[in-house]
Structure 1
Amino acid sequence: MFDFAGRMLSEERAQHYIDEGYWTSDSFVDVLEKDAQDYPDFVHKDEERSLTYKEMWQEVEALAAELYARGIRKGDTVAMQLPNALDYVVAVFGIARIGAIGVSLQIDLGRQAILQSLQKSKAKAWIIADNFRGQPLYEMALDVQKELPNLDYVILQGTTAGAPSDILTFTQMRSSAKRLVADELAANRPGPLDAFLMVFTSGTTGSPKGVVHLHANYLWAARAYAKNFGYEAGDGVLDLAPICHQTGMLSGVMQTIASGARILLLERFSAIRVLKWIEKEKPAYLVGAPPHVIHLANASKLKDTDTSSVKFFIYAGAPVPSSVLERMQEASGIKVGGMFGWTEGFLATATNPSDPMDALANTIGFVIPGTEVRLVDEDGNDVEPGTPGEIWSRGPNFSAGYYENPEAAQRQWDKDGWFHSGDVLRQDETGRYRFIARADDIINRGGTKVDPKAVEDVISAHEAVENVVVVGAPDETLGQRTVACVILHEGAEPFTLAALRDFLGERGLAKFEFPDRLEFMTEFPMTHSGKIKKKDLREHFRREAEAQS
């Protein structure tokens, strides 16, 4: 098994997953190779080009040979900083073909976080787009390379005006006629317990942590979740989420490949463009983040679009108000279901297309079979069903740990392998789970705990509200007061706090849950993956309170 400081997966637990049949003897590379044999003519598309499974495998073989020729071997790391494109998929599997480890970097990551990630991962090569949203990435990469003596190659994806003719380009490498011979492939072929992908997390809020996913845990997760959602060979999966994040990579790419389905990648999101892709490509699944769900549900042309091919819209990242999910289904017939989990372990729970509307709109579904879950109190004792508790989890879905970061790994996992998430959930009478909040998001108003999602769900039903976030702000008397941050629909008239409270009261919200303050905003601070940065909003109100004191 791939070993490193910060590995929390024990040899005994890995053997248990093998003995029990959770982990199989194949790697993800084996799965893609078999797809190319079984479904050679199924077509994948991005906004620039299309590839059949057979053509994708040929490009993977070419890239692997080119990387090998430059000294990349099994266990080496190769960084990838790319947009939603088929090149990204080719890069992941071309690197894995020779047992190397793809290091997934967020496309819009800041320079310092990039430098830290490359240093920590010990990357020998870096495949990077020429630019992103007008920002020159390749020029930045050449500058960063000067500080990284172990980084031998910067490989350009795309074209850069004025670049020298002898630069190493991804297009040339994936189009190469080179192929590895049998003994070279055999010596570097990955096994199930070898590392597949390293995904850096928390690069914008702290020191980046490299999550190490093995072929075994990634492949088990992709197969289990594809089964949960009903993926079938040939299904089109239209991915709106960035594949440098795990919602997009897992559900948009890996579950798709694990099923022999077709990858459809959208890089530049707009609701109108999504609707056009749906009509043209007839996808069976959409994959996205909360903003994608909200914008599509509010699209004026949604009712006029033929969305009959879509079985399910899968999203993750944060809860979407139930009224938005209901509006989507009423307008288009598209069912929307949520996944809940973490970069470190993929999913703990998920809904599925057969769930009733109430479950889709208000829960995050059942625990994925094979995954263990506990809800615990502050002392680590299991709570009764119906009582909120922090979710701990372990299972064959989990990564091996944080690369060369034992301190962070030991804070997150305990000695028995339980991952301590910091997320508060409640199990309802049906056995499904309901997300309450991050532990930090719970509002303590004068000793009474306020669940922000419960308040957000009711406010979102207001006809003038496009999106809402409820956070706690410092208060000398109560400790925290509740602030409702609202984005209005275009053209909607603002309303008063008193009117909002009347609205909430009419819908049965308790008075202690009423917001103490109402703030209208034009946008919320967002991560690249589509999560609202509640921490930034809380910090804004904290600084405001300090300035007034």
Structure 2
Amino acid sequence: MNLSTYYRMRAREFGNNLVAIDGDRKTTYNQLEEISNKVANWLKGTGIKPGERGIIYLPNCTEYFYFMYGALKAGIVPIPLNYRFQKEELRYVLKDSGAAAVFTLSQHAAVMSELQKEEGYIQQIVVADGDDKKSGTILLKDIVAEYSGETEIYPALDDDLAMIMYTSGTTGRPKGVRQTHRNNIVSAEGFAYTQRITSTDRFFCIAPLFHVGGTIASLAAILTGGAVVFTPGGWSPTGFLETVEKNKVTWAFLVGLMGAQLATVENLEKYDLSSLHHVAFGGSPIPAAMYAKFESKYKVRTLELYGRTEHVGSSINYDSNDTRVPGSVGKLLTQIMKGKLVDSEGKEVPPGQPGELVVIGDNITPGYWNKPEDTKKLFASDGWQHTGDVFVQDENGYLFFKERVDDMIISGGENIYPGEIIPVLAGHPKVAEAFVLGIPHDDWGQQVAAVIVKKDPSLTEQEVFDYCGSRKDLSGYKKPRVIKFVETMPKNAAMKIDKGALVQLFKK
């Protein structure tokens, strides 16, 4: 069933409730239903056929929902695209996807028009803001004024393509991950179930809507009749606190860096945060020190989760009533998928032993767009998907993320997991942030290298070496041999550390 039919059912039930709060703008379920119908009717009249693709190149905003649900209703496949992509990255995705429509802001109309002329794929460019119609573009305000607010939803089966979401591309070209209608529905339902979301909840959405974290969490909020709260000015710790107070936010999904920044805010007593009952963290492994600082200041339940674009959302998390197990990202969402940890030969490993997570289930992508060879590598012959992520599972089923298989360092024949070293470095009082990777070594194959952001400018390499040397929990072969200091840790738009940029540091 078409994903947008679920939204229509929520609009019938919660029509006058707020679905989106975007600064001072408030939108009800009925209003979103009507405007997305108008977008669908416009698309149907353009000659763009069902199954063709439409890129959404926007920051988080209410208009994102107009275009996403409007496209789905017309049978067009939306592509929520990384809003930090520059012209050549846009060109790559445009050519790879063959997108026929682009939904964007007026400030990007010129570059989209250039790409339209240079590549010839784009048939329509829709501008979400402003009154000035640029050459070759359509204004959303004109669509809203001219088209009917009722439409028939294009029929779709559960396994039909609903969306394409491009990966972050931290180590190479981004890949388009195909997502079915079923993938999105079960992932959102599974998330709503574990987070105990209801129609009275309000979700603080700072995770980008071009990322599965933002899309699925928002969809979970909408499927339960709740509201999504945006912050037009982007992220800031005080902006978050002010938004929680003003809009009575009940839950949020943040990345670890945001939690660390919130832990430094003073005079918390001036904010009324009584509505906020839990915060989920994800995107990358969260240092224990961040949790300690955050939980000492904020009296809310904190949870961690794990997900992938290829899982169309989170596949491991906590029930929102659970007590977080330090270091664990939770348990498998067994209502929608199955998973197990295996060794390099595909044999399941016992509790306490590291193994690669392999999964199968209703939320798992059928593969990549236009990349049959990469799709083939993604799945084993029995249909289980390889995540490339190493975990350890305890006797109670809690999973502890260790590292990416391809991030594992092999030095002198020893397997080294950076996830074991990073918390040690992060525990140094003069270290603000740390990352560990393997770099080439003539004799050992690879050696351990660390990239560090200083908390105290006086920190030296020798202090770090001495600190690691004194640690009883860090074997000699795991200790960093090379250290680079940086002002800030490079991150992509999904707030994940850009490993490709760090690798380049050691090539200079």
Q: TM-score, normalised by structure 1?
A: 0.85
- For 2:260 and 2:420, the matched residues in 1 are separated by 18
**Aligned runs of 1:485-500 on 2, under 5 Å?**
485-489=451-455, 492-500=456-464
**Aligned runs of 1:302-381 on 2, under 5 Å?**
302=268, 305-345=271-311, 346-357=313-324, 359=325, 361-369=326-334, 370-381=336-347
Change (3 A) 1:453 1:303: farther
Task: Supply the AA of the counterpart residue of 1:99.
Answer: G
**1:414 matched residue in structure 2:** 380
The answer as to whether partners of 1:109 and 1:203 remain within 8 angstroms in 2 is no
Q: Deviations over 1:309-347 (max 9, x none)?
A: 222222322101011012111111233322212111133
The match for 1:34 among 9, 15, 26 is: 9
Q: TM-score, normalised by structure 2?
A: 0.92
The match for 2:72 among 90, 96, 100 is: 96
Q: 2:122 aligned with 1:151, yes or no?
A: yes
The answer as to whether partners of 1:296 and 1:302 remain within 8 angstroms in 2 is no
Aligned residues: CA RMSD: 2.4
1:502 CA drift (Å):
5.5
The answer as to whether partners of 1:47 and 1:85 remain within 8 angstroms in 2 is no
The match for 1:514 among 469, 479, 482 is: 479
**2:91 matched residue in structure 1:** 115
Q: Deviations over 1:8-54 (max 9, x none)?
A: xxxxxxxxxxxxxxxxxx43212211221222232211236220111
The match for 2:60 among 84, 95, 100 is: 84
Q: Deviations over 1:253-276 (max 9, x none)?
A: 111112111001225111111111
Change (3 A) 1:248 1:148: same
The answer as to whether partners of 1:113 and 1:208 remain within 8 angstroms in 2 is no
The answer as to whether partners of 1:79 and 1:104 remain within 8 angstroms in 2 is yes
- For 2:378 and 2:420, the matched residues in 1 are separated by 28
- For 2:123 and 2:288, the matched residues in 1 are separated by 50
Q: Deviations over 1:204-252 (max 9, x none)?
A: 643442222111121011001111111111200001111111111111x
What SS is found at the alignment partner of 2:363? coil
**2:425 matched residue in structure 1:** 459
What SS is found at the alignment partner of 1:45? strand
**Aligned runs of 1:146-545 on 2, under 5 Å?**
146-159=117-130, 163=134, 167-180=137-150, 185=152, 188-203=154-169, 205-251=171-217, 253-267=218-232, 268-302=234-268, 305-345=271-311, 346-357=313-324, 359=325, 361-369=326-334, 370-489=336-455, 492-500=456-464, 503=467, 508-512=472-476, 513-541=478-506, 543-544=507-508
- For 1:146 and 1:431, the matched residues in 2 are separated by 54
Task: Supply the AA of the counterpart residue of 2:25.
Answer: R
Change (3 A) 1:373 1:177: same
Change (3 A) 1:485 1:128: same
- For 1:385 and 1:539, the matched residues in 2 are separated by 37
Structure 2 gaps, min length 5: none
Change (3 A) 1:62 1:160: closer
What SS is found at the alignment partner of 2:415? strand
Question: What is the number of residues matched between the two proteins?
Answer: 503
The answer as to whether partners of 1:247 and 1:288 remain within 8 angstroms in 2 is no
- For 2:270 and 2:486, the matched residues in 1 are separated by 30
The answer as to whether partners of 2:260 and 2:293 remain within 8 angstroms in 1 is no
Change (3 A) 1:341 1:494: same
Q: Deviations over 1:443-497 (max 9, x none)?
A: 33333333222222233233333222122333334433333322233xx343344
The answer as to whether partners of 2:305 and 2:318 remain within 8 angstroms in 1 is yes
What SS is found at the alignment partner of 1:178? coil
The answer as to whether partners of 1:240 and 1:292 remain within 8 angstroms in 2 is no
What SS is found at the alignment partner of 1:401? coil
258-267 vs 148-157, which moves further: 148-157
1:397 CA drift (Å):
0.5
What SS is found at the alignment partner of 2:182? helix
155-164 vs 231-240, which moves further: 155-164
What SS is found at the alignment partner of 2:453? strand
Structure 1 gaps, min length 5: 1-25, 132-136, 545-549
The answer as to whether partners of 1:222 and 1:255 remain within 8 angstroms in 2 is yes
